[in-house]
Amino acid sequence: MNSRAAWLLALLCVARCGPALAHSAPNSFVKLSFLAQSVRAEVLVPESELAYATAAERASEPFAAYLLRHLAAETPQGAAWKVDVRSFSHTTYLEHAYLSAQVEFTPPAGASPGSFVLVDDAVTHEVRNHVVIVLALGAANPELLGALQYPARRLAVQRSAAIADTRHASQK
Amino acid sequence: MKKRWLVTSIFGLLIAASSAAQAIDESCTKPSAGNGQVAVVMAAIQDLEKTLSAEQRKSLERPFVRDSAIRWSNLPVGITPRMGLRLGDLDEKQNHAARGVAAAALSACGLELLDEIRIADDVLKAVDERKIGWDAGNYFISVLGTPSESKPWMLQIGGHHLAYNFTFNGGREGATPLFFGTEPIRFSAAGIEYEPLVAQSAAMSNLAQALAKQPAAKLSGTFTDVVKGVVVIPVPGKMPTGGTDTGFPMSFPTGNSDRGILYGALSPAEQALARAAIESYASLPGAAITSPLVAAYESSAALAETYIGYAGQPDLGARGSYVRIDGPRIWMEFVVQPAVADNTRLHYHALWRDKQSDYGGEIGH
C-alpha cells in the first residue's frame, strides 16, 4: 500500500469505520468564532469522559450548570467575561457520543474580544490523559490555537491576523 | 512472548520480582544481529536498499525533519496513514532484508515484540472485518535522513500498535518515543499461544501490587489512555488530522504532588521491582541504543528523584488500571483500556518517553 492508498483507506474510514477511533480516548474540542463584540464557541465534550468527571464530583446538576462551573473566560488582566450556555444537544463525532454546547463569551466593556484567557477543566480535572483542543474557525481550515491537559486549565487565546482577515472578508 | 504466562500471585511479590527479570531473559530467544550498533544497522539498511526498486527506495527514505519524525501513532493505518516502506508489499527477499534491519536495531525481545504485535493485528483482521487497516502487512520501515556513523539520522519501524523511533548520533541518546500495545492481550495463532506484552504487564503489575499498600503511590484521577500519547485534531466536515505526535515537545509533571511515591521510600525488594519494570521497556531496543539510558535512569541521583504511581487495579485486571514511572528523564506509562475489535475484552497501551532525548534531542517545535 502506498501513501495514496493509505489516504484512500483513511477517507473510506470517515464513513465506515468510525468506531476504530475509540482506540484513541476521545478528547474535547472548543471551536471559537470571533465576532465583533463577542466570541461564540461550540464546546464538544465526549460523554464517556464527562461521566468520569461528573462522577468524581458527584455532580448531579444539569449539564449547562456543570459547564458553567468549569468553563470561563477572562481578560488577560483577570476580569471575568460573561458566559452564556445558549443551548446544547447530543451529537456524535466519529462514532463517539458528545454533548455539544453553544456558548457565547462576552468581554467586559472596553475589553477586546480578540484576546482573552480561556478556562476549561470540565473533564481534565478528573481524566488525566484528556486533552481540550482549542480551534479558531473562520479561515479555510481551522486554526489550532492550543490545547489543555491536566493540570493546565487556562489557555491564552489571541485572534490571529488570518482569522481576523477571514472574518472581515466574510462580512463583505 | 510465546507460551509464557506468568502467575505471580502464587509466589508472592519478592519472587515476582525475580520472575519478571527472568521473564525478560527467557523471552529473548531469537538472535539479534546487531543490538543497535550504528554500523551494523547501516550495513543492514544498505543490504535492504540493494533489494529495492527506485520507487521503493523513495518510500523508505524520508527527510529527517519534524513532520516526518512525529508521524507515528497508536491508531490503525486506516485512521492515521503511515509513511515509509510497507512490509506487506515486499517480496520474500526484500522481507528478509527488512527483517535484517529490524534485527540489527532491536534486541531479541524487541524483535519478538515486533513479530507478535503484527500477528495480533492479523488476529484482529479475522475478528473485525471493518476496513480500518488491521493487518500484519500494515507495518512500515523508514530511514529519515542519511545513515551515517557520525551525523544524526533516524530509523522508524512501526504500525498500528508499535512505534520504534531510534535516533542515531543525535545530541542525546535516541531510543524514544517508543509506543507499544496489543489487542488481544492473549491469543492463539497457528497453534501457538502469544501474550506479546507479558514481560511489561507483569513487571508493571508486580510493581503496582507491591506499592498498593502505600497511599502515596496512588495517583489521583482517571486514566483512559496513556497521558503523553498522540492527539487527534478535528477538522469539521473532514477526516480528523493528527493522530501523530503533534503535541511534542510535551510538558511533564513537576514538584512532588500527585506523582506517586519516591523510589527512595521503597524497600529494597520494591526497588528491585521498579528497576525490573524500567528494564522491561528498555530491553526492547538494541543494547547499544538503550544501555546509556538505563544507566542514566538507574543512577543514584536519578532514582532519588524518580516517582512511581498507579491508579485503578494494581493487578492491571480492569480498564483504567495505570502504572507510571516518572523521573528526571524517564517517563514510562502502562494503561489498560477496553478492546476495540471486541469491546468485552481489554487491551494494553504502553509508552516510553525521555524528557530530554526523544528523537535524540534533534527535533524541536
B269–A contact, CB cutoff 8 A: no
Is residue B2 situated within a structural domain? no
| Cβ <8 Å between A152 and B77 | no
Contact A152 B251 (CB under 8 A): yes
pLDDT exceeds 60 at position B216: yes
Tell me, yes or no, if B254 comes closer than 8 A to chain A by beta carbon.
no
User: Which chain B residues are within 8 Å of A12, Cβ to Cβ?
Assistant: 78, 131
Q: Looking at the 3D structure of chain B, how many domains does it have?
A: 1
Maximum average pLDDT range among A35-49, B18-32, B222-236: A35-49
Q: In B, which residues are within 8 Å of A93 by CB distance?
A: 234
Return the amino acid letter for B276: A
Residue B294 falls inside a structural domain = yes
Q: Where in chain A are the domains?
A: 18-171
Q: B52: domain range?
A: 12-361
- Could A17 and B86 be called an inter-chain contact, meaning their C-beta atoms sit closer than 8 Å? no
**Interface A:B, Cβ pairs < 8 A:** 127
- A96 touches B: beta carbon within 8 Å: no
Residue B5 lies in a domain: no
pTM: 0.88
Model pLDDT, residue B133: 77
> Residue A168: what pLDDT?
37
Is B143 a domain residue? Answer: yes
Q: How far apart are CA B150 and CA B350, in angstroms?
A: 31
B85-113 average pLDDT score? 96
Model confidence pLDDT, tens digit, residues B33-44: 678 999 999 999
| Contacts with A126 from chain B: Cβ below 8 Å | 221-222
Mean pLDDT of B305-331: 97
Average pLDDT per consecutive 10 residues, chain A (172 residues; last block may be shorter)? 39 40 76 95 96 93 95 97 96 87 97 96 97 86 88 91 45 29
- Give B-chain residues touching A57 at CB under 8 angstroms: none
Residue B25 lies in a domain: yes
Residue at B3 is within a domain: no
* pLDDT on residue B325: 98
Cβ neighbours of A150 in B, within 8 Å: 221
Report the residue of chain A nearest B338, measured CA to CA.
A23
Least confident piece of the model among A132-146, B287-301, B320-334: A132-146
